[in-house]
DNA sequence: AGTTGAGTTCCATTATTTGAAACTCGGTTT
DNA sequence: AAACCGAGTTTCAAATAATGGAACTCAACT
């Protein structure tokens, strides 16, 4: 129950600074030269240099000698494989995601909340062979996506408030919600209905129904959605799928609970309230 | 061309030590208690504690309060998404992997070398909807897999030697190569033929043909393979597919080269001034 | 030969990390 | 009820690692 709040999310520690370099490299999205990194870095040359050396030595960055540029290292891919398996719903949810995709004949997304953003952890496109890693790992805004709103709607106020404060409310389309107040009233409606829509709020022409995946304590673990386009279908037609999405979400939640205990703290269960 | 060799792969730096904790958590493959970590850790309690705190603060580890256990954090999934895109062949290779899978009607693997191991970065199963993340990120031994041997065969001696020294030569099946000498002679044959077989060397009943993906300088960037089982086909039948695998590998190599330059150091007129 | 700039190393200073020990806080034992 | 226990947390002086200004290397240009 430690009420411990480590605010210094990135300060003070050498480790944090080094990791921030990783983010920087990631931000470029391509192999990057030392000097390019240096320009945008708060660190002096020698310091940045040592960080980069360390990270390369650690396999977190890869140095391409031909181009002499740095890219994210494969150790990350390896770690992420484990991370994805152990701290995401995806492995548990897969069969249900498959089933829902087949049933709906539309794209299905599985997402979780990462800080104030939506992190897509799986995706299934009924039509064509998948394209997974390309979307697993992607992040999106929470305030204007179906899955994002579905999760926010079921978050306790104490956690919701700081997250809402971090939303950009950038206007992507005419229907994007542009204020915390508007979003809050939308969340109320979602809580009531049990499912959320994306009414072309993020991308024009793209609509979806999303349902939160709630654990036994009604805490949102993630969300699942069926996405389509206005060209192919309507919100009303998607709404008809809501019960299917909900039943998928419930099954996933059940499986997720079941999954937690087998390979778990086998020793005594503390009184745990 | 810095001849710099940072041998101290994990020593001395705080960053390295902290990252080693990440690996430890990953090794458990499940959420882990502080005390479990401590038992197997070379660090004293207070030190480990601070590492874990730092990593949680950084989003590299996630703390599950209910279970009070630590798991790998989602920041890794995010970073890995970028890593996969920017430092793996997978995005470039995808269409060709698809095509080869369809043509062969068998499972296709795309792998790269990560230190002395094989890292699978993509997989396509012609028959049924894929199961990708489950394999992207997986690692395997280099000395007894088709893709591994295909890559090793085209590595310059200077790089090959240290890698061979790190192979375990663990005996998985009766056909597993069990010595560096045996492997070296196999590699010679592969270099000559241009493709490698896996003759049930890693798993009984599993066979494959693999071809390295070579860049302009004949350096192996990765390898691609068609895998099947002895129940379904034979090595001879797989060998017949070798030309197709080779042409896929060549196309991928060509695309990879082309890909490198577009979104690259566009300001190479820096000298021009 | 001379200049430039990316990349690398040096090293005295400074700040962080270290870890033994003490403490906290539920729960358990006597 | 008091004492105990052990997982988890905090403290603080000593030890260690990080810092960054400046000097250096080396190749490509002028």
Walk along chain B (273 residues) and give the pLDDT tens digit of each residue.
333 333 344 456 889 999 999 988 888 878 888 988 888 888 889 999 999 999 998 889 888 877 788 988 888 888 888 888 777 788 889 889 989 988 998 889 999 998 888 988 888 876 654 344 446 678 889 999 999 999 999 999 988 998 999 999 999 999 999 999 999 999 999 999 999 999 999 999 999 999 999 988 888 999 999 998 888 899 999 999 999 999 999 999 998 877 654 443 333 333 332
Asked whether the beta carbons of A181 and A144 are under 8 A apart, the reply is: no
Question: In Å, what is the separation between the CA of B271 and the C1' of C1?
Answer: 20
CA pair distance B241, B243, nearest whole angstrom: 6
In sequence order, what are the beta bridge partners of A206? A229
Taking the CA of residue A27 and the C1' sugar atom of nucleotide C5, their distance in angstroms comes to 25
Range in A50-64, A131-145, A215-229, B83-97 the model is least confident about: A131-145
pLDDT digits (tens, 9 = 90+) for B163-177: 999 999 999 999 999
Q: Which of B132, B86, B69 has its CA nearest to residue A264?
A: B69
pLDDT for the residue B215: 85
Closest CB to A33 among B76, B122, B265: B265
Is the pLDDT at A221 greater than 80? The verdict is yes
Average pLDDT, chain B: 83
In this prediction, residue A260 carries a pLDDT of 59
Question: Which of B68, B77, B131 best tests the A interface by mutation, with the highest count of A CBs <10 A?
Answer: B77
Which of B83, B102, B103, B256 best probes binding to A when mutated, by most A CB atoms within 10 angstroms?
Answer: B83
pLDDT per residue over A250-272, tens digit each? 999 998 877 654 443 333 333 33
Average pLDDT over residues A19-34: 88
What b/e readout covers A28-55, taking b as 16+ CB neighbours within 10 angstroms?
A: bebbbebebbeeebebeeeebeebbebb
Instruction: Please count the other Cβ atoms lying within 10 Å of the Cβ belonging to residue B24.
Output: 18
pLDDT score recorded for residue B268: 34
Nearest protein residue by Cα to C1' of nucleotide C18: B47
Asked whether residue A1 carries a pLDDT value surpassing 70, the answer given is: no
Encoding tokens for residue A162? 């700081």
Distance separating alpha carbons of residues B50 and A12, to the nearest angstrom: 13
Rounded to a whole number of angstroms, the distance from the CA of B273 to the nearest CA of chain A is 18
Mean pLDDT of A60-86: 83
Residue B98, H or E segment: helix B90-104
Residue among B16, B19, B133 whose CB faces A90 most closely: B133
- Give the DSSP H or E segment for B61: strand B61-64
pLDDT at A191: 96
DSSP class per residue in A21-83: HHHHHHHHTS-B-HHHHHHT-SS-HHHHHHHHHHHHHTTSEEEETTTTEEEE-HHHHHHHHHH
Query: What is the distance, to the nearest Å, from the Cα of residue A193 to the centroid of all Cα atoms in its chain?
Result: 23
What is the crossing angle of helices B235-260 and B90-104, to 10°?
150
Of A9, A67, A133, the CB nearest to B90: A133
Dihedral angle sign, alpha carbons of residues B195, B198, B199, B201: positive
Q: Answer whether residue A3 shows pLDDT above 70.
A: no
Count each helix (H run) and each strand (E run) in chain B, helices first. 9, 8
Tell me which residue of B87, B261, B17, B204 sits closest to A73, measured CA to CA: B87
Nucleotides of strand D within 7 Å of the protein's CB atoms: 6-11, 17-23, 28-30
Q: How far apart are CA A26 and CA B85, in angstroms?
A: 10
Angular region, A157: left φ>0, alpha ψ -120 to 50, beta rest: alpha
In this structure, what is the dihedral angle of CA atoms B207, B211, B213, B215, given to the nearest 10 degrees?
A: 150
- pLDDT tens-digit series, residues A170-195: 999 999 999 999 999 999 999 999 99
| CA→C1' distance for B172 and D29 (Å) | 58
Confidence of residue A240 (pLDDT cuts 50, 70, 90): very high
Residue A16 confidence (pLDDT) above 70: yes
Question: Each residue of A68-79: pLDDT tens digit?
Answer: 889 888 888 888
CA of A265 vs chain B CAs: smallest distance (Å)? 8
Can you give the pTM of this predicted structure?
A: 0.78
Give residue A9's pLDDT: 46
């Amino acid at each position: 129950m430690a009420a411990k709040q480590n605010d210094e999310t990135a300060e003070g520690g050498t480790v944090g600074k080094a990791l921030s370099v990783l983010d920087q490299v990631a931000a470029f999205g391509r192999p990057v030269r030392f000097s390019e990194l240096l320009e945008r870095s708060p660190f002096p040359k020698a310091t940045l240099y040592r960080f980069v050396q360390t990270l390369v030595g650690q396999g977190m960055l890869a140095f391409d000698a031909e181009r002499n540029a740095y890219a994210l290292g494969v150790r990350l891919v390896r770690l992420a494989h484990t991370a994805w398996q152990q701290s995401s719903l995806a492995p548990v949810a897969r069969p249900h995601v498959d089933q829902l995709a087949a049933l709906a004949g539309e794209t299905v997304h599985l997402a979780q909340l990462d800080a104030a953003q939506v992190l897509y952890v799986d995706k299934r496109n009924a039509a064509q062979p998948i394209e997974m890693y390309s979307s697993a790992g992607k992040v999106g805004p929470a305030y204007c996506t179906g899955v994002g709103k579905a999760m926010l709607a079921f978050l306790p106020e104490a956690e919701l408030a700081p997250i809402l404060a971090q939303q950009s409310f950038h206007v992507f389309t005419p229907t994007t919600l542009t204020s915390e107040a508007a979003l809050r009233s939308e969340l109320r409606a979602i809580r009531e209905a049990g499912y959320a829509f994306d009414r072309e709020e993020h991308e024009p022409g793209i609509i979806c129904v999303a349902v939160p995946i709630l654990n036994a304590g009604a805490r949102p673990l993630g969300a699942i959605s069926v996405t389509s386009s206005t060209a192919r279908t309507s919100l009303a037609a998607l709404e008809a799928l809501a019960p299917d999405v909900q039943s998928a979400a419930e099954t996933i939640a059940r499986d997720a609970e079941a999954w937690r205990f087998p390979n778990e703290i086998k020793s005594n269960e503390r009184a745990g309230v």
